[in-house]
């Protein structure tokens, strides 16, 4: 992309700064947007990582589909799997009586941004890995494999750029 095109993206998404690394990150986000690749975005807290999934979504063929941003650190541990993957009626979850599609079911055909995936419990991270690798998941209380077609962007906070993120 030209510097003028990157400048337009920065204006559209409210991004401030002219650092070469920032310009390269924006360019890479636009390059990856039309693909089916899953994306992991890393960086320090407060650097604007949440802008990049929005860029990827808006420049993808999924831009007319749902864009769902999920703060994984804010989901109560007892309901994380149900909220992400959905659940079947009678799945022994307090307060949940009807079938639930979950975020992956809702985002089908769109983009799902999972912020702070490092905050998820390890068993949920293992289930998430299956979704990222194959697009397949199983609702809580079900044995049926579901398949979705959405783009996945995950965000992980690093303490500093010099750490191994």
Percent of the chain with pLDDT strictly greater than 70: 89
Per-residue pLDDT tens over the stretch 21-71: 999 999 999 999 999 888 999 888 888 899 999 999 999 999 999 999 999
- CA dihedral 84→90→93→97, nearest 10 degrees, is 80
Residue 163 CB neighbour total at 10 angstroms:
9
Whole-number pLDDT of residue 67: 94
Whole-number pLDDT of residue 74: 92
The Cα–Cα gap between 122 and 68 comes to 22
The Cα–Cα gap between 82 and 93 comes to 8
Of 85, 158, 162, 76, the closest CA to residue 120 belongs to 76
Per-residue pLDDT tens over the stretch 82-111: 899 988 876 665 555 566 888 988 888 899
In the three-class reduction of DSSP (H, G, I as helix; E, B as strand; rest coil), residue 71 is classed as strand
Q: What is the pTM of this model?
A: 0.85
Whole-number pLDDT of residue 108: 86
The Cα–Cα gap between 133 and 156 comes to 18
pLDDT category of residue 151 using cuts at 50, 70 and 90: confident
Better-scored residue on pLDDT, 77 or 8: 8
Average of pLDDT values for 70-76?
91
pLDDT category of residue 161 using cuts at 50, 70 and 90: very low
């Amino acid at each position: 992309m030209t510097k003028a095109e990157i400048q337009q993206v920065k204006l559209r998404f409210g991004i401030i700064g002219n650092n070469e690394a920032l310009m390269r990150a924006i360019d890479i986000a636009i390059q990856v947007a039309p693909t089916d690749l899953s994306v992991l975005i890393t960086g320090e807290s407060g650097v604007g990582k949440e802008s990049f999934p929005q860029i990827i979504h808006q420049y993808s063929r999924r831009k007319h589909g749902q864009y769902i941003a999920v703060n994984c650190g804010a989901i109560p541990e007892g309901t994380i799997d149900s909220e992400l993957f959905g659940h079947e009626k009678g799945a022994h979850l307090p307060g949940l009586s009807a079938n639930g599609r979950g975020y992956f079911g809702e985002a089908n055909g769109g983009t799902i941004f999972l912020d702070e995936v490092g905050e998820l419990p390890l068993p949920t991270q293992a289930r998430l890995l299956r979704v990222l690798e194959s697009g397949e998941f199983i609702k809580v209380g079900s044995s049926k494999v579901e398949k979705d077609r959405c783009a996945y962007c995950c965000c992980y906070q690093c303490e500093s750029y010099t750490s191994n993120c």
